[in-house]
Every structure is written in C-alpha cells, then in structure tokens.
Amino acid sequence: MPARFTPKVVTANALLDGDAVWLTEDDRWSPLICEAELITDEAHADLRLLQAKSRAAEIAGAYLADARMGDDGPEPVHFREAFRTRGPSNYAHGKQVETPPRT
C-alpha cells in the first residue's frame, strides 16, 4: 500500500544569494516558510515542483519538503528544514541577524 501523502511546501535556494526560499501561493519566492503555500494534494505538489524547477534563472535545487500548518502558517516538520529557516551558519547575516535567537 502506498504511503499516505503528507503536506508539503516547495523550497529551493535563491540563485543570487543562496538563501533558502519557499514558493508562495501567488508564485513569489519568500525567505519565510510561514508565507509558503502548504500543499495537501500530491498531484498539485508535483505540478508546483515542476513549475518551480522551470524557474532556473531565479532558484536552484527545488524540492518538496514536509510541512505542517502552524499558528502563523506553514512550519517545518524535519530538522533540515528548521535549520534552513534560520539561514547560513558560517557567520551571522541575513535571517540570523533579523530573527531573534531561539531559546
């Protein structure tokens, strides 16, 4: 029996700065996962991923990531995606400067 489909978001890295971005319902790339389109249908998820991959002038490495609806919008399910929401770890810049540290 096939596994049950779990909600997804489309994520990638912005081509110019390498930052993690998420595809919104209105086809923008947002640096905030809470603005991402939470996709609950497998066929729609496959279509959105194909659309994202066709935008190679904007992003690299698009893929579907598991997500769930949180109080403020989609949020990551797995550690990898949670890590990507915090930005690069080599030095404080981008999201690390803009977002207060989690305790």
Q: Which positions ≥6 away from 32 have C-beta within 8 Å?
A: 22, 85
CA 48 vs. chain centroid, Å, equals 12
pLDDT at 25: 97
The domain limits of the chain are 8-98
pLDDT of residue 103: 43
- So what's the pLDDT on residue 98? 62
Pick the closest to residue 15 from 46, 70, 56 (CA basis). Answer: 56
Per-residue pLDDT of the chain (103 residues; tens, 9 = 90+): 778 999 999 999 999 888 999 999 999 999 999 999 999 999 999 999 999 999 999 999 999 999 999 999 999 999 888 888 887 655 555 555 565 554 4
